Structure 1
Amino acid sequence: MTVKTMTVKEIAKKVINKEELFILDVRNEDDFADWKIEGDKFEYLNKPYFDLIDGIDSIKDQIPTDRDVVVVCAKGGSSEFVAEQLVEAGFDNVYSLEGGMKAWSEHLEPVKIADLNDGGELYQFVRLGKGCLSYMVISDGEAALIDAVRMTDVFIDFAEEKEATIKHVFDTHLHADHISGGREIAEKTGAIYWLPPKDASEVQFNYRPLEDGEDVQIGSSKISVQALYSPGHTIGSTSFIVDDHYLMSGDILFIDSIGRPDLAGKAEDWVSDLRETLYKRYKALSEDLVVLPAHYMTNHELYEDGSVAKKLGELYKENHGLNVDDEDEFRQMVTVNLPPQPNAYQEIRQTNMGKISPESEKKREMEIGPNRCAVK
């Protein structure tokens, strides 16, 4: 029997468009509790696959018939088996998620943020399954990438579609929650790979040091990517001001939260840096800058087109992390009762330093789970 499938791109559209969907997740309970496909109008039933091997009678009364139902597992095999049983039981609205949560974790949804000077363009790549955000600046046939994730072909193919050559690749910091695609993209395209030197002291490959105040020009129209040293999440964290209008804040400032300072074991040491960046360095910038972070926490931060952005002045009014006057209270907030650290974050850091080189499947396993770079 052929079971209908639903792709992660179709799921992504439902998330962005806030459509209804019923998800039958057949992973074990712990995995479901830790990480699932999030949608504002999604409903869920978690029933482990092993409870359904002998039949689906126990859940038939809980499966709706008035909307689409997608069965989800880790990689797509178990969901197809369960979906087949439901179809045999008379449900004609059931799909299996193609590739499962593995595919969901890796899907990138490109969203155009703005037209820049002299025909330039700015794109945001939304990784809905991990809450990661990457960026591409295009100008006069040249492209620059900021905080690219490991699905490198997506960025390379997109640049080719736009008839642009990737000339520069930037990382705002040494990532601990996901594997950077920066070095691989630079190797494939010949682009310059820029890293903040204070985060790169242990890396095992060549890179271009990105110093505070460095201004990299993209294309003949010279769209500016200017570095702003902004430590706190890591000792080397560096933001970028793009085209004088956009603040790429990395993992320092998000729409509804702020960055955590503990992913290299330095929470107590880096709290002062974090506060200095948020309450002084950023405060000195124009309130009209549009903040484009490297992550988001929940889907309510997505605009109708799927983008994540907000003016800096609005964040100073609305983001609690920017409005804690008492320094001791701020220190307590960002060092005590933090959320769990990202899965395999130490291995991810070592990978991003070039100290270890895991196979592709291992990299996928290392990244399983939600984004956990924020303090709210």
Structure 2
Amino acid sequence: MIEKMSAKQVAQKVIAKENLFILDVRNEDAYEDWKIEGPSIESMNKPYFEMLDGVEEVVGDIPAEQDVLVACAKEGSSMFVAEQLAEALDRTVYYLEGGMKTWSEHLEPVHVGDLEGGGSVYQFVRLGKGCLTYMIKSGNEAAIIDPLRMVNHYEDFAEELNVEVLHLIDTHLHADHISGGRRLAEKHGGTYHLPPKDAGEVQFHYEPLEDGKVITFGADQVKIRAFYSPGHTIGSTSLIVNETYLFTGDILFIDSIGRPDLAGLAEDWVGDLRETLYDRYKQLDQNLMVLPAHFAKMKELDEKGRVFATLGELYQENHGLQIEDEGEFRRVVTENLPPQPNSYQEIRETNMGKREPNEEEETEMEIGPNRCAVS
């Protein structure tokens, strides 16, 4: 017997640290580049084409006491293999509904905390790509920070909370994923905010997100203050909410720092990056709770699936904040870089409004791991 397992069910197992064995039947290079991971996930790779005549070679590797999930790119191959495994093992075997495409696009909402005076902060965790995005509730209004293109996830959650999404904010012009900010604003009559120094080539109307600007919204009068923090891009702007949370975009992560090269200007922007990390942020309240736009490793998630730390903790523990010598810092962030994100230039052009890809093209552009951090 075979049964489907949704991306949401897999996400909940990862967060809850439930054991799961995954047989990934994609080609080896796809598996090595990007796969489902987690502290309780065990996986192996056996390409689908090697099992066309049977699954005898892998049966002995399947654990007896764990749920078994077969994953492929789009679903069909995993169903075929799961059927053979279920028959050979005489037990239920699961296949990933929608394949790795759905895993890449799933967002899991978690409650970060409530704001003093009213309002709540929610983090949407994109486990399949390491993206983090946020919804802030104030009365019956909501703001979304760094929204992704899968806008249905926000719309469904907003309906649950009985809020209108009226404020869409990108901390910078993204190069690793397609923003959903503009499409949400157009669909719901909201306002799309973008740092003007990143918007020189955009082809649409936006509200400038300038240093010191305060967005006050909703019955709880939640305040979002813009704090200019260049380095990942020249316009990168952090957000301070009710003087409690610091949304750092792609400048500062829990276990690393942002890369300055995705517009081809690493040598120009590395100085800005250092000044933001080693000067601008140090002037802020060190008790601010840092909420970044990405995470790199599953160990960064707490027991509820949240990713956060205080600014002071990061100055003690984040290796990217421990490089005292400026020359060494420049070397690390310009030479010690991972491969650039898939289709990053096409993604930047899409976020500028210069390119209008269809849904399938958007999916292909984003497939792969998060690569916005310095290694």
Superposed pair shares fold, TM > 0.5: yes
CA contact (8 A) 2:211 2:226 kept: yes
1:90-146 C-alpha deviation (Å, 9 max, x unpaired): 341421111110000011110111111333111110000011011111111111110
Distance (whole Å) between structure 2 residues aligned to residue 299 and residue 176 of structure 1:
22
CA contact (8 A) 1:65 1:93 kept: no
Relative to structure 1, is the Cα distance of residues 221 and 43 closer, same or farther in structure 2, using a 3 angstrom cutoff? Answer: closer
1:170-206 C-alpha deviation (Å, 9 max, x unpaired): 0000000000000000001111100000101100110
Distance (whole Å) between structure 1 residues aligned to residue 30 and residue 187 of structure 2:
35
Which 10-residue stretch deviates more, 262-271 or 212-221?
Answer: 212-221
Structure 1 counterpart of 2:54: 55
Structure 1 counterpart of 2:32: 33
Structure 1 residue ranges, 4+ long, deviating more than 3 angstroms after superposition: none
**1:374 is paired with a residue of what secondary structure?**
coil
1:221-247 C-alpha deviation (Å, 9 max, x unpaired): 311100000000000000000111000
User: Is residue 374 of structure 2 the alignment partner of residue 375 of structure 1?
Assistant: yes
CA contact (8 A) 2:2 2:92 kept: no
Q: How does 1:287-306 map to 2 (within 5 A)?
A: 287-306=286-305
Which 10-residue stretch deviates more, 255-264 or 34-43?
Answer: 34-43
Structure 1 counterpart of 2:309: 310
CA contact (8 A) 2:337 2:374 kept: yes
- Structure 2 residue runs without a partner (length 5+): none
Say what the alpha-carbon RMSD is for the aligned residues. 0.9
CA contact (8 A) 1:65 1:91 kept: no
> How many residues were matched structurally?
375
CA drift of 1:44 comes to 1.4
Which 10-residue stretch deviates more, 130-139 or 216-225?
Answer: 216-225
Return the letter of the residue paired with 2:6: T
Which 10-residue stretch deviates more, 242-251 or 6-15?
Answer: 6-15
CA drift of 1:70 comes to 0.4
Q: How does 1:313-328 map to 2 (within 5 A)?
A: 313-328=312-327
**2:2 is paired with a residue of what secondary structure?**
coil
TM-score (norm 2): 0.99
Q: How does 1:339-350 map to 2 (within 5 A)?
A: 339-350=338-349
Structure 2 counterpart of 1:137: 136
TM-score (norm 1): 0.98
Structure 2 counterpart of 1:122: 121
Return the letter of the residue paired with 1:21: L
Structure 2 counterpart of 1:353: 352
Q: How does 1:95-106 map to 2 (within 5 A)?
A: 95-106=94-105
- Structure 1 residue runs without a partner (length 5+): none
CA contact (8 A) 1:138 1:218 kept: no
User: Is residue 85 of structure 2 the alignment partner of residue 86 of structure 1?
Assistant: yes
CA contact (8 A) 2:214 2:225 kept: yes
**1:258 is paired with a residue of what secondary structure?**
coil
**1:361 is paired with a residue of what secondary structure?**
helix
Which 10-residue stretch deviates more, 51-60 or 268-277?
Answer: 51-60
Distance (whole Å) between structure 2 residues aligned to residue 293 and residue 87 of structure 1:
41
CA contact (8 A) 2:59 2:89 kept: no
Distance (whole Å) between structure 1 residues aligned to residue 310 and residue 336 of structure 2:
29
